[in-house]
Chain A
Amino acid sequence: MVDAARHPKINLMTYSEVKEVKGHVGNFRVTIEHKPRYVTDFCNACGDCVEACPIKVPNEFDEQLSPRHAIYQSFAQAVPSAYVIDSDNCIRCYKCVDACERRTIDFSQESEQIELDVGSIVMATGFEVFNPAPLSEYGYGRWQNVINAPELERLLDPSGPTRGELVRPSDFLVPRQVAFIQCAGSRDERYNSYCSGYCCMASIKTALHIRETYPEIEVFIFYIDIRASHKGYEEFFRRARERGVKFIRCKPSEIEPSAGHRGLVLHGEDRERGRPMKWEADLVVLSTGAVPARGTGEMGGRLKVSLDENGFYREFHPKLRPVDSPTEGVFLAGAACGPKDIPYSVAQGSAAAARCSRILMKENLLIEPIVAHMLPDQPDRCLNVNKKCGICVERCPFGAMTALPGEPAFVTEAKCMGCGTCIPDCPQGGISQNHFHDLQIYAQIHAYLNDLPENKILAFMCWWCSYPGADNAGTNHLQYPPSSRGIRVMCAGRIRKDFILEAFRKGAGMVLVSGCHRQDCHYITGQHYAERRMTKLSKTLERMGISAERFRVEWISAAEGEKYARVIREMDQALKNIGQKRIKAENAKTHSELQRCLAHLSDLSLFPVKTVKGTA
């Protein structure tokens, strides 16, 4: 931290908050509010002011276990080593002003707004520790000797409230037994369903520390499973066992004060014996997991970074782009995008820095040409001019669409990833995509279905999962009937209902829509909207009189070549079972209705269905 502060090219802005972020990758304009510290930079951290200050409030850094004054330094090693006045608690007695020899205290300071032009942003807003008070069975806050992991950490710290001496809070005696309870509030559907990942190792480390400093203290770790899955962790776990830390496979069910002395009794089922047991402990430590830091949501809103189901920042892709946020040029590091231990956080921080330099080292940034754009011919077509629409804004997980009140929506091309999910849902049909223009896709549909359409399976496939899945079937020499014809689009979210209706109007035997599995969608939400749209469409088609087997939606990943081959085999079989006669009859029956559904295509000058038919 000191190195970072000293570095000539690193500008550390502490006590500041990002208020607004405008622009896009390479050209962000960030508004930062620098809050007043009321102490000028001339301060030499002598600490005379602290002695003069009459106010005492709980110290947040020491987990409220010790007091601090209204003028304070958050902790001894803080960078920069600067004092600050907590204006919420300061009573303005100005005793510190008199005490300061260097006259560095200045109550006239006000918060200032700073605007910065930056090329890329790393979000490393960290996490908070879960407050175990709602776990009423453990009695945190009710029994004095039930503490959480950060509190124990402060008690053991040489600069902490007890100068590193481990005592139990009730009577300041050294405890005879210390019990750690793992997964307190984690892996728990009632609170946080995820595993925080670091608590097992943190508890083992602390337990080992206690055993080494106080060999007379018995240390128990109550666990469901110990997750020691990284390099060197299992060896560390073994070392803890060697040093006499007792591991008990049990999740205690409740904690009660013991009748005799001021200790506690833990009730739980010893899984090894399969019967309820009681354990006595003087000090119980709840190994609480991580929860998103306060303000994670607001900051995400300012940078257009969405949150996952647990409230952490969502990565672009959990496996392939774990450092990138959905907004191009904004990267994620550390526990802000999910609980992590130290090695993993350091690795992610380094990766985020490398990803930033990839953008910053270039004069110009090249982006993929496959971006959405508003159709230029009718600028007033956008509904947003007259009323509030903004469907495209909602569809875009990357923040590339903007719809300001009273103005037509527009695309920020530098942010657009080119999935095309916004296009099918535009009520005015006012958006299109380079290289995947509606006209191009209609042309492909027509070309494939020009002759003997009844014998064909028209398969729409997404770029990242289903097409490589079909490829996988090919490279693995998996046999499937030659009746399928594939149309590749960027994302299943790009597939318009009209494409399928048009295929059936042209007499297609079968239509397959395929894309990534929901959790693997390379455009975050594209599959979700595709699924919604296709579920509705299949009902419509059935109502029109097209047999349900003729329209199929399957989610096929890049590794599922076998599934692709199987789906095509099944569809081919179904095609034969239904028979050409019935397909033709159904097509003839529905033709007029389909024609009516697709009438709007001929209205748009850009999609002259008739001329396309002629050229195809």
Chain B
Amino acid sequence: MEQFKRFLMEQDIPRRVRVCYQCGVCAGGCPVGKWRWDFNPRRFIEMILRDEIDDIIKDDKIWLCAACHTCLERCPQTIEVSEIMMQLKNAAARIGSIPENQVKMGREIMKTGWTQTPGKRTLRIRRELGLPEIPRGIRSRELRNLMDCLGLPEQLKRPENKDNDGPDRSVVNPTNEKKEKNTE
């Protein structure tokens, strides 16, 4: 927890959200919030303002943020809400608090290079349409090296390992890494 707090301080998240006047534009326009009303970006900011960081870390809901940046664009106080969500995810990953499905997705990327395995039906349709076969596995050595350097494999190996004094500080931002992979 100390490590997490230190990370937040390094990012200076508390200072960046201090001007928030809690108008709720971020929560009102959030496309995730439209389907899961308990996902409320304003509430996360409020929790940071009230120094209730312990509760944020326990909350798997931060992983629901789709990083569409709608909140960031509309915030009247120009708080980078979605950027802060990203950093909260990074911080949570750093102490090993990653939800199971995210870990699975990460492993899938490591193994196949895909965020999700296409089903038989998808493959059949592709064949019918005469599309080429999807390449499997990460070909790019650079990309694999990058993932290794960032410690992604270790990170994903020990999702249940929640002790915070491990060598996890080498993990800079596993979430960003996944994003990169998606666009690849």
Give A residues with C-beta under 8 Å from B.
137, 183, 187-190, 224, 250-254, 267-271, 274-277
Assess whether B42 is in contact with A269, with CB atoms less than 8 Å apart. Answer: yes
> Which of B22-30, B86-94, B102-110, B144-152 is the contact stretch?
B22-30
Query: How far apart are the CA atoms of A99 and B151 in the complex, in Å?
Result: 88
In the complex, which residues of chain A have a beta carbon less than 8 angstroms from the beta carbon of B21?
187, 224
Closest CB in chain A relative to B147 CB, distance in Å: 36
Give the segment of B33-41, B57-65, B155-163, B172-180 that binds chain A: B33-41
Q: Which among A190, A253, A270 has the greatest number of chain B C-beta atoms within 10 A?
A: A253
A269 touches B28 (CB 8 A): yes
Contact residues in A for B37 (Cβ distance below 8 Å): 275-276
Contact status B34-A276, CB under 8 Å: yes
Decide: B24 and A269 in contact? CB cutoff 8 A.
yes
A276 near B74 with CB under 8 A, answer no
CA–CA, A277 and B28, complex, Å: 7
Give A45 Cβ to nearest chain B Cβ, in Å. Answer: 47
B68 → chain A closest CB, angstroms: 13
**How long is the Cα–Cα vector from A271 to B43 in the complex, in angstroms?**
10
Whether B137 sits at the interface, judged by CB under 8 Å, is: no
**A269 in complex: contacting residue of B27, B38, B77, CB < 8 Å:** B27
Task: Give min CB distance, B109 to chain A, whole Å.
Answer: 31
Q: Which residues of B contact A (CB under 8 A)?
A: 21-30, 33-34, 37-38, 40, 42-43, 70, 74, 76-78
Contacts of A269 in B (CB 8 A): 24-28, 33, 40, 42
CA distance A157 to B81 in the complex (A): 42
- Count A-B contacts at CB 8 Å: 69
Contact indicator B27/A189 (Cβ below 8 Å): no
Give Cα A251–Cα B27 distance, bound, in whole angstroms: 10
Given A269-B42, A271-B24, A253 contacting B77 (CB threshold 8 A): no
Shortest C-beta distance, B172 to chain A (Å), equals: 30
* A189 and B77 contacting across the interface, CB-CB below 8 Å: yes
Give the contacting residue for A251; candidates B28, B34, B38; CB below 8 A.
Answer: B28
- In the complex the two chains form, is B76's CB within 8 Å of A189's CB? yes
Which residue of B has the minimal Cβ distance to A137?
Answer: B74
Contact A250 B28 (CB under 8 A): yes
Complex CA distance for A609 and B137, rounded to whole angstroms? 84
Q: Are B77 and A276 in contact, with the CB atoms below 8 A?
A: no
- Evaluate contact between B29 and A251: CB separation under 8 angstroms: no
Please give 20 more A-B residue pairs, beta carbons under 8 A apart, in addition to A274-B43, A276-B27: A137-B74, A183-B23, A187-B21, A189-B77, A189-B78, A190-B76, A250-B28, A253-B74, A254-B74, A267-B29, A267-B34, A268-B24, A268-B29, A269-B24, A269-B26, A269-B40, A271-B22, A271-B24, A275-B33, A277-B28
Residues of B within 8 A of A275 (CB): 27, 33, 37-38, 40
In the complex, which residues of chain A have a beta carbon less than 8 angstroms from the beta carbon of B30? 253, 276
In the complex formed, the residue of A with least CB distance to B41 is A269
Assess whether A137 is in contact with B24, with CB atoms less than 8 Å apart.
no
Cβ of B79 to closest chain A Cβ, rounded Å = 9
- Give 29 A-B contacts (CB < 8 Å), ordered by A residue: A183-B23, A183-B76, A187-B76, A188-B76, A188-B77, A189-B78, A250-B24, A251-B24, A251-B25, A251-B28, A253-B24, A253-B30, A253-B74, A254-B29, A254-B74, A267-B28, A268-B24, A268-B28, A268-B29, A269-B26, A269-B28, A269-B33, A270-B24, A275-B27, A275-B33, A275-B38, A276-B28, A276-B34, A277-B28
- Nearest CB to that of A270 among chain B residues? B24
Q: Would A274 and B40 be within 8 Å (CB), given that A189-B77, A253-B74 are in contact?
A: yes
A269 to B75, CA, bound (A): 13
Q: In the complex, A250 Cα to B22 Cα: how many Å?
A: 9
Q: Are A253 and B25 in contact, CB atoms less than 8 angstroms apart? A: yes
A422 to B28 CA separation, bound complex (whole angstroms):
53
User: How many Å from the CB of A130 to the closest CB on chain B?
Assistant: 13
Contacts of A252 in B (CB 8 A): 25, 28
Least Cβ–Cβ distance between A272 and chain B, in angstroms:
10
Q: Are A190's CB and B23's CB within 8 A? A: no
A158 to B13, CA, bound (A): 53
User: How far, in angstroms, from A189 to B74 measured CA to CA in the complex?
Assistant: 10
A267 to B30, CA, bound (A): 10
Q: Would you give the shortest CB distance from B111 to chain A, in whole angstroms?
A: 37
Most buried by A among B25, B30, B34, B43: B25
Residues of chain A contacted by B42 (CB below 8 angstroms): 269
Residues of B within 8 A of A250 (CB): 24, 28
Q: Which residue of A lies closest to B38 (CB)?
A: A275
Contacts of B28 in A (CB 8 A): 250-254, 267-269, 276-277
For the complex, give the distance between the alpha carbons of A269 and B26 in Å: 8
Chain B contacts for A254, CB-based, 8 A? 28-29, 74
Bound-state CA distance A137–B25 (Å) is 11
| Bound form: Cα–Cα A277–B37 in Å | 9
Cα distance A466–B23 when bound, in Å?
A: 40
B23 near A251: Cβ-Cβ < 8 Å: yes
Q: Which 10 A-B pairs have the closest CB atoms?
A: A253-B29, A253-B28, A268-B28, A269-B24, A269-B27, A188-B76, A251-B23, A269-B28, A275-B37, A189-B78
- For B27, the closest partner residue in chain A by CB is A269
Chain B residues with Cβ below 8 Å from A253 are: 24-30, 70, 74
Q: How far is the CA of A190 from the CA of B33 in the complex (A)?
A: 24
Residues on A with beta carbons closer than 8 Å to the beta carbon of B77? 188-189
What chain A residues lie within 8 Å of B26 (beta carbons)? 253, 269
A190 touches B24 (CB 8 A): no
Residues of B within 8 A of A267 (CB): 28-29, 34
Say which residue of A137, A183, A274 sits within 8 Å of B29 (CB atoms): A137
